[in-house]
């Protein structure tokens, strides 16, 4: 990031790996422009989380960061402090930088997911499957707990807390879990013909399929749900909500 900019221009950014597709940079650029704010928002594309602290140290006027795949968990040891909710979730997607340069981690993913799912919920939406076990899935799990929805993780490999492998899934399991959330990057542009390997024949019109992916706007995962007349939701609203929540955190005293 450029150090030589006017000190009146606060800086924000997104930390991730291979993030040229980023939603956040365009979103905040448009926000700053429409609100006539002299701020910048840049991508910080790093190959290892070890690269982050030197970048923060040498970037003047840096006030806040978002964090995306694959660093939502790896960033935690780098931080000086964790917000209580982020600590419970075990993942961070927002960092506030104090005037003294101290780093505090927050999670706004749970907020974005909860408030984009909630309007679609009906009485029969009592059980969910979370596809994937990364940082985003932890925020989703926390939101489901808040909504009092039972859930199980689905993973490619056996690990603590995982009930189902993809190879375990059958139509009965799918049909009895009326919310299925894709927290993996499978199906993201440009790999738009890929989708999680689940038995979609178990999906019904009573299902909600929620994909954290937003590019493409209808992933193959969601299109498979649409064919079964399920309710389908992509990750765009979640991203907008979490971005605005991040903005409020950065600007609170």
| DSSP code per residue over the chain | --S-S-TTS-EEEEEESS-TT-HHHHHHHHHHHHTT---EEEEEE-SSGGGHHHHHHT-TTEEEEEE-TT-TTTTGGG-SEE-HHHHHHT--SEEEE-TT--EEEE--HHHHHHHHHGGG--TT--EEEEE--SHHHHHHHHHHHHTT-EEEEEESS--TTEEEEGGG--HHHHHH--EEEE-S-TT-TT-TT------GGG--TT-EEEES--SSSS-HHHHHHHHTT-EEE-SHHHHHHHHHHHHHHHH--
Q: Give catalytic status of residue 17 as yes or no.
A: no
CA distance 42 to 29: 9
Query: Which of 9, 31, 72, 84 is labelled catalytic?
Result: 72
Cβ contacts of 34 within 8 Å, gap of 6 or more: none
Peptide bond into 87 cis (omega under 30): no
Residues tagged active-site? 72
């Amino acid at each position: 990031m450029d150090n030589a900019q006017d000190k009146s221009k606060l800086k924000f950014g997104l930390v991730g790996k291979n993030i040229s597709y980023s939603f956040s940079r365009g979103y905040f650029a448009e926000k700053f422009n429409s609100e006539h704010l002299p701020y910048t928002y840049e991508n910080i594309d790093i190959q290892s989380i070890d690269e982050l602290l030197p970048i923060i140290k040498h970037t003047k006027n840096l006030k806040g960061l978002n964090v995306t795949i694959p660093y939502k968990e790896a960033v935690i040891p780098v931080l000086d402090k964790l917000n209580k909710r982020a600590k419970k979730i075990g993942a961070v997607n927002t960092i506030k930088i104090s005037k003294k340069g101290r780093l505090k981690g927050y999670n706004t993913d749970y907020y974005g997911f909860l408030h984009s799912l909630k309007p679609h919920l009906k009485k029969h939406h009592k059980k969910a499957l979370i596809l994937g076990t990364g940082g985003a899935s932890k925020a989703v799990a926390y939101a489901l707990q808040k909504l009092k929805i039972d859930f199980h993780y689905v993973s490619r490999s056996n690990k603590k807390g995982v009930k189902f492998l993809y190879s375990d899934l059958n139509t009965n399991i799918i049909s009895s879990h009326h919310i299925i959330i894709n927290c993996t990057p499978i199906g993201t542009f440009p790999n738009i013909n890929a989708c999680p390997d689940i038995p979609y024949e178990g999906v019904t019109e009573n299902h909600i399929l929620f994909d954290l992916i937003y590019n493409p706007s209808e992933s193959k995962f969601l299109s498979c749900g649409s064919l079964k007349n399920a309710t389908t939701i992509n990750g765009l609203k979640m991203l907008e909500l979490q971005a605005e929540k991040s903005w409020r955190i950065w600007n609170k005293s």
